[in-house]
Amino acid sequence: MISAVLFDLGDTLWHFPSMPPHVLVREETVRRINDVLRRWGIEPEGPLFFLGRDIRVAVERETGEAYRTDHVSPDYVDLCAEVAGSFGLRLTEEQTHELWDAWNLGGRFFGRTLFPDALDTLRWLQEHGLKLGAVTDRAFGGPRFMAELAEYGLEPYLQEVTISSNVGYLKPHPRIFQHALDALAVAAEETVMVGDSLRCDVAGAKALGMVAVWKRPPLDEPTELGADKLDVEGETVPDYIIDNLWELTQLPVLNHG
């Protein structure tokens, strides 16, 4: 009997139908970082114009390496301090967190939008007695991200939100899934995992004995790192495939009525 459902977030509960062009992302990143530097009494001149770019390059490099190797999440705040140091900036811990926060533009800037059936599906699952949680790979968590979840109306439904940068492991590492299972006090065998990545969500869930549901991401929109738009191939075969969240309510494993 299934007693809990875990969700990925990006391209599963929400998507990005109106992603801003790269030039606007760069301009906003530079503006936010320059505001921080000026508050510190530093004029953002010369090479400092490229501080945001180099943080992005370092984040992408270290995240990619982690996915290719041990799935241990990089310490992104330390990485931010390291990049700042390469520009001659010796930051306090508080300043490093302020710079890291400035670099992260937030989901609303990128046009993050809940799928239209997300809240209705979560409500249906909750009303049918299921515990709900999220397991997500994110470089930025903390109170600001949790406040964003509340703004989208997700907080009443998600009893646990496990974030890779908080627990130190990226999907499909078993420890990130186990953290969520322990928080909800459920066994893997009584849990469904729903996500858009065959490698991260489906394979990671099945390795622990969870029921794995692959939600195919939109084919005509930008997607987050790890999303799979191709048909199922090889050994990573989900237990169920859905194209919208409301289909969960029709799956026999979740619908006993």
Distant-in-sequence, close-in-space partners of 197: CB < 8 Å, separation ≥ 6 = 8, 171, 226, 227, 228
Verify that 8 and 80 share a domain, yes or no: no
Beta bridge partners of 169: 72
Verify that 221 and 115 share a domain, yes or no: yes
Is residue 227 predicted with pLDDT exceeding 70? Answer: no
Distances (CA, A) of 68 to 51, 71, 226: 26, 7, 12
* Residue 255 resides in a domain: no
Domain that residue 177 falls in? 4-17+111-250
pLDDT at residue number 64: 93
Verify that 44 and 116 share a domain, yes or no: no
> 120 or 108: which carries more pLDDT confidence?
120
* Residue 222 resides in a domain: yes
- In terms of Cα–Cα distance, which of 149, 135, 213, 146 is closest to 178? 135
pLDDT in tens, 189-199: 999 999 999 99
Q: Which pair of structure tokens corresponds to residue 230?
A: 């191709």
Verify that 117 and 244 share a domain, yes or no: yes
Omega before residue 172 within 30° of 0, cis: yes
Is residue 132 predicted with pLDDT exceeding 90? Answer: yes
Tell me which residue has tokens 């001149």: 45
Q: Quick one: average pLDDT of 38-64? A: 95
Mean pLDDT for all residues in the chain: 92
Verify that 232 and 120 share a domain, yes or no: yes
> In this predicted structure, which of 61-75, 86-100, 177-191, 209-223 has the lowest mean pLDDT?
209-223
Verify that 64 and 132 share a domain, yes or no: no
pLDDT in tens, 8-26: 999 999 999 988 999 999 9
* Residue 37 resides in a domain: yes
Q: How far apart are CA 217 and CA 162, in angstroms?
A: 21
Distances (CA, A) of 152 to 53, 102, 170: 29, 21, 24
Verify that 159 and 125 share a domain, yes or no: yes
Q: What is the CATH number of the domain that holds 193?
A: 3.40.50.1000
CB 5 within 8 A of CB 190: no
Q: Quick one: average pLDDT of 168-182? A: 97
Domain count, the chain: 2
Q: Quick one: average pLDDT of 130-157? A: 93
Of 103, 120, 135, the one marking the end of a domain is 103
| % of residues, the chain, pLDDT over 70 | 93
Of 69, 103, 137, the one marking the end of a domain is 103
Beta bridge partners of 4: 131, 191
Verify that 42 and 117 share a domain, yes or no: no
Verify that 125 and 10 share a domain, yes or no: yes
Verify that 70 and 188 share a domain, yes or no: no
Q: Which pair of structure tokens corresponds to residue 4?
A: 């809990």
Is residue 221 predicted with pLDDT exceeding 80? Answer: no
Collapsing DSSP to helix, strand or coil, 154 comes out as coil
* Residue 38 resides in a domain: yes
pLDDT at residue number 185: 98
Q: How far apart are CA 3 and CA 41, in angstroms?
A: 54
* Residue 256 resides in a domain: no
- In terms of Cα–Cα distance, which of 67, 11, 7, 5 is closest to 228? 11
Verify that 33 and 11 share a domain, yes or no: no
Of 73, 103, 133, the one marking the end of a domain is 103
* Residue 31 resides in a domain: yes
* Residue 73 resides in a domain: yes
Q: Quick one: average pLDDT of 200-221? A: 90
pLDDT at residue number 230: 56
Verify that 42 and 87 share a domain, yes or no: yes
Q: How far apart are CA 54 and CA 59, in angstroms?
A: 9
* Residue 257 resides in a domain: no
